Structure 1
Amino acid sequence: MAPIDHSKHEKPTQVWKSLEDVCLPARSYDIEFWWQVTGYHLAKMVEAAGYPIERQYEVLLFHYHWIVPRLGPAPGADGLPKWKALMAHDGSPLEYSWKWNTTNSLPEVRYSWEPYNPGADSTANPRNHEVSLDYMKHISKVVPQADFTWARHFLSEIETGDRPTSNFLHAVEFHRKKPFDLKSYFLPRATKLLEGGDSGVMKEWDDAVVKLDPKNPTREVLRKFLKTNPEGQALSPVVLAMDDVSPSKSRLKMYFLTSHTSFKALRQIMTLGGLVDIPEESLQEIRSLITTILGLPEDFPEDANTPVQPPIGKSWVETENLFECFVYFFDIAPQNGVPDVKFYLPTRRYGPDDLAIAHRTIEWMKARGRGAYADQYLQMMEAVAEHRGLENGKGLHSFISYQVNRNGEPDIKTYFTSETYHPTRFTGRDNTTNGTNGTNATNGTNGHAL
């Protein structure tokens, strides 16, 4: 079975075509594979978001030179992965993010990525972060404001003794005008840890944070909520993240998941048990976003858990249960006083097929006067899904997040994956099959086609 020629994309952008036809030389098979898949996706994203042409070139060339060579081996001709990242549910090493425009701001593009470190996913060399370290050493040539002080601190504190190792991941925010921003993440490698089954994770983080910032009042507020509030006690730590800037400007973020997915639980967590003053209007907006995307009735009970939809496909059953939850992060920057909280809805496990999720998100944004880029977003998602079609299953959309912005409209982000290992990338598109396992397309809600 030969892989599809990814250079023959259906609708190349002007910048993509220019780079492909004129500027960029062919490189190794591995690099060329990742470039043809992820580079094309990124090209469609920055075009859809309306980035100036010169910025589109900068974004794509940054990706081409600094990220693509660090994504490791391409899948074989059979489409099977030679390594599986924890970055995305299907093992792909990138997760894209579209920050929605407001009524007076433009959308922005970003992604998180996982470098390939041979042996790190086995007992051969579990603490191997060589590719990350090389990236951190050299990236300042093009991002001079990058500062990995905090990342290096946590790397030295967490990766010690006999504690299980973490995946060391990164992110890039491709701003329109100001320099790109970088971020780093520590993600427990073992599935048990991701499920919150290791009580040592929080203590490990706490010990490291205390050494870094012993008198952080925001951290103490979060600690109290986690220890004393029933919904706080139900949260399991999964990711530790930081901005890669000077420590005086950096934010420290802790991500948690919970199986408590009712609106009643969400209200408690978003307000830290009533400590954070979030307008009722904002809480109702979060509820509206969830009910719209998932197709829940307006009178869905406050104390009922959000219904889980049947999983599609069995390729990644070892991590499928990780998405049967809601996800939150808490920003414990010391200057905040109380943590900022962000909510994530895992659309991989909840809601309908990718086309319906896209349409329902657009519907919600348009109703709030934020639909200026709705058509471009849908066209971009259709291009990312050109291998199988948005209507044929689910799995591209991974999360939709909501963060209250006290200075204006809420920050809404859509997260989606590349579906790198989808079989139709290697056999050709089949519009009659499900996007994950080749069964008949369903809406992911009740088993009936839309």
Structure 2
Amino acid sequence: MTPSQSLQVEAKPWHLVKTKWEGISEPYQQYWYQTVGYMLGALLDSAGYSYESQTSILHQFANLVTPYLGVAPWSELPRWESFMTDDNTPIELSWDFHTGADQPTIRYSIEPIGADAGTGTNQYNEGTAAAFKQALFKAYPDIETALLNHFEACFNGSWADRNPEGHCSTFFWAFDLNEKTITNKAYFFPGVVAHATHRSKLIVIADAITSAPGCRIGMQIPLHIYIDFVYQHPGLEPEIDMLALDLVPLEKARLKIYFRERRTDFGSVKETMSLGGRIQGPEFETGMKRLTRLWDALTGMHNKPDDIPLPYKDHRTAGILYNVEFRMNAETPKVKIYIPVRHYAKNDQQIIKVLKEFLTEQVGQRQDLRTAPVSAESYSRCLGNLFDTKALAGGLGVHTYIGCSIQRGGDLRLVSYINPQLGKMNSKVPFASPEMRTNGEKLPN
């Protein structure tokens, strides 16, 4: 019996934690754990996490995270319009395949949201992020906070009126869930400060980075390579979304600027991934050839010239999302692309099929890994157990992005980002009736 099959019968760590937390009187917390918590448990199980790790991670989710996900969809209170996902779900799950043969890593990102967020008493969700971090640091006092404190001071603020961003989110938090450790990540939106000070978001972020402890010299070179690329392409006008940092010791720190381009032709992808030719070499060229195959398979652009754009989509998250990564004392930045399959793929089942075929081929090309298990097999089974087959084959929305970065040897590291769309869940999941999943009714106790 495979991990996914055994979980379909009984998700033991999830049930164990559920039993312990059934005493929670707050119905919204119960809702988030019994739904998204179940999906998180399914991913952990299918990815091969140990029983102990699954239980520990789910305890953390139930205890520290569910109080800060806002109201349940069935609530009559106003629902905070989180920028985390296109349908405002405040949590996004992800499955990091790495390059296909290693054990995958499960991660998730949240926007801390108060139950009163968006109401007359707390229109802009103020105070919730601080309360969430206080609870987290109390539980995990060894988290590195030096850079976090600096960037909090740089980006501190909230919207006082209608803003030009198209959303009111100002802060995200993420967890990379390794077998024995959890890496915390923080995400800051510079729009509030940029709007208030009449500066561009890129300048606001650059000023914050160059004034950060230890970063002025250590990250100056890769940062200026990216800034030089932007300034030498005045018509490009990338839309800066946010700055991310890992809460790790400074010498291991990564800072990432997330930006969106409305250009969707693959020629523009090549230009951005190379930062206008500033990133190059045999490994990069190999990686771009593989990215071309993956892009064509996901978007249906086989045999199309590189200057042909994807079909036009009039949406805030249309276009192509990237991040540019700066590591301490690195000479060049690294670019990662997020292919927005939510807008441009055929359906979710096709995305699963493409990932499985691509990773199987990539692993098979390595002499030392031809017989290694490919985690895409487990991923395919897991999503097949979680979601209704017709829903996966009939539309989009479960997958939001496929993240791709070029690794040593030219292999692609792939990450699948998942919106936990409860209305598309398989009827065999144990937490609720079909009526609740489709109509948003309250979960039974």
- Normalising by structure 1, we get a TM-score of 0.80
Q: 1:359 to 1:387 in 2, by over 3 A?
A: closer
* More displaced 10-residue stretch of structure 1: 242-251 or 368-377: 368-377
Task: Give the aligned partner of residue 57 of structure 1.
Answer: 55
Rounded Cα–Cα distance in structure 2 between residues aligned with 1:124 and 1:131: 13
Q: Which residues of 2 match residues 27-176 of structure 1 at below 5 A?
A: 27=24, 28-76=26-74, 82-102=79-99, 104-117=101-114, 121=118, 125=122, 129-160=126-157, 167-176=170-179
Rounded Cα–Cα distance in structure 2 between residues aligned with 1:288 and 1:33: 40
Once the 2 structures are TM-superposed, how far is the Cα of residue 119 of structure 1 from its aligned partner? Answer: 6.2
Q: Is the CA contact 1:159–1:166 (under 8 Å) kept in the aligned structure 2?
A: no
Rounded Cα–Cα distance in structure 1 between residues aligned with 2:298 and 2:424: 24
Q: Which residues of 2 match residues 273-422 of structure 1 at below 5 A?
A: 273-278=276-281, 279-297=284-302, 299-308=303-312, 321-369=315-363, 372-386=374-388, 389-406=391-408, 409-420=411-422
Q: Is the CA contact 2:347–2:393 (under 8 Å) kept in the aligned structure 1?
A: yes
Q: Is the CA contact 2:90–2:110 (under 8 Å) kept in the aligned structure 1?
A: yes
Q: 1:149 to 1:119 in 2, by over 3 A?
A: farther
Task: Give the aligned partner of residue 228 of structure 1.
Answer: 232
* More displaced 10-residue stretch of structure 1: 181-190 or 86-95: 181-190
Task: Give the aligned partner of residue 4 of structure 2.
Answer: none
Q: 1:424 to 1:142 in 2, by over 3 A?
A: same
- Letter paired with 1:418: P
Q: Is the CA contact 1:234–1:260 (under 8 Å) kept in the aligned structure 2?
A: no
Rounded Cα–Cα distance in structure 2 between residues aligned with 1:108 and 1:64: 20
Percent identity of paired positions between Structure 1 and Structure 2: 23
Secondary structure class of the residue paired with 1:335: coil
Secondary structure class of the residue paired with 2:242: strand
* More displaced 10-residue stretch of structure 1: 132-141 or 32-41: 132-141
Rounded Cα–Cα distance in structure 2 between residues aligned with 1:161 and 1:141: 25
- Letter paired with 1:283: M
Q: Is the CA contact 1:185–1:242 (under 8 Å) kept in the aligned structure 2?
A: yes
Secondary structure class of the residue paired with 1:56: helix
Q: Is the CA contact 1:388–1:429 (under 8 Å) kept in the aligned structure 2?
A: no
Higher helix share: 2
Q: Is the CA contact 1:260–1:325 (under 8 Å) kept in the aligned structure 2?
A: yes
Once the 2 structures are TM-superposed, how far is the Cα of residue 126 of structure 1 from its aligned partner? Answer: 6.3
Once the 2 structures are TM-superposed, how far is the Cα of residue 249 of structure 1 from its aligned partner? Answer: 2.5
Rounded Cα–Cα distance in structure 2 between residues aligned with 1:62 and 1:92: 19
- Letter paired with 1:209: I
Rounded Cα–Cα distance in structure 1 between residues aligned with 2:423 and 2:121: 25
Please list the CA deviations of residues 94-153 of structure 1 after superposition, one character each: whole Å capped at 9, or x if unmatched: 111100153541111001111114666578656755232233234245444412322222
Please list the CA deviations of residues 145-171 of structure 1 after superposition, one character each: whole Å capped at 9, or x if unmatched: 412322222222222598867521100
Q: 1:162 to 1:294 in 2, by over 3 A?
A: closer
Rounded Cα–Cα distance in structure 1 between residues aligned with 2:383 and 2:34: 16
Please list the CA deviations of residues 316-373 of structure 1 after superposition, one character each: whole Å capped at 9, or x if unmatched: xxxx612320111011234112111101100111111111211122121122227622
Q: 1:119 to 1:246 in 2, by over 3 A?
A: farther
Q: Is the CA contact 1:109–1:174 (under 8 Å) kept in the aligned structure 2?
A: yes
Once the 2 structures are TM-superposed, how far is the Cα of residue 25 of structure 1 from its aligned partner? Answer: 2.5
* More displaced 10-residue stretch of structure 1: 114-123 or 243-252: 114-123
Rounded Cα–Cα distance in structure 2 between residues aligned with 1:77 and 1:168: 23
Please list the CA deviations of residues 183-226 of structure 1 after superposition, one character each: whole Å capped at 9, or x if unmatched: 00123679x99xxxx96322222222232133422111111111
Task: Give the aligned partner of residue 3 of structure 1.
Answer: none
Rounded Cα–Cα distance in structure 2 between residues aligned with 1:288 and 1:430: 40
Secondary structure class of the residue paired with 1:85: coil
* More displaced 10-residue stretch of structure 1: 109-118 or 219-228: 109-118
Q: Is the CA contact 2:83–2:169 (under 8 Å) kept in the aligned structure 1?
A: no
Paired residue total: 405
- Letter paired with 1:211: S
Q: Is the CA contact 2:101–2:363 (under 8 Å) kept in the aligned structure 1?
A: no
Once the 2 structures are TM-superposed, how far is the Cα of residue 34 of structure 1 from its aligned partner? Answer: 0.5
Q: Is the CA contact 2:117–2:124 (under 8 Å) kept in the aligned structure 1?
A: yes
Rounded Cα–Cα distance in structure 2 between residues aligned with 1:40 and 1:386: 15
Unaligned residue ranges in structure 1 (runs of 5+): 1-8, 310-319, 437-450
Q: Is the CA contact 1:217–1:334 (under 8 Å) kept in the aligned structure 2?
A: no
* More displaced 10-residue stretch of structure 1: 366-375 or 269-278: 366-375
Once the 2 structures are TM-superposed, how far is the Cα of residue 48 of structure 1 from its aligned partner? Answer: 0.7
Which one of 179, 182, 188 corresponds to residue 184 of structure 2? Answer: 182
Which one of 244, 247, 250 corresponds to residue 250 of structure 2? Answer: 247
Rounded Cα–Cα distance in structure 2 between residues aligned with 1:261 and 1:175: 34
* More displaced 10-residue stretch of structure 1: 336-345 or 244-253: 244-253
- Normalising by structure 2, we get a TM-score of 0.81
Rounded Cα–Cα distance in structure 1 between residues aligned with 2:121 and 2:16: 42
Q: 1:123 to 1:417 in 2, by over 3 A?
A: same
- Letter paired with 1:204: V
CA RMSD of aligned residues (A): 3.3
Task: Give the aligned partner of residue 368 of structure 2.
Answer: none
Q: 1:73 to 1:353 in 2, by over 3 A?
A: same
Rounded Cα–Cα distance in structure 2 between residues aligned with 1:81 and 1:414: 30
Q: Is the CA contact 2:339–2:403 (under 8 Å) kept in the aligned structure 1?
A: yes
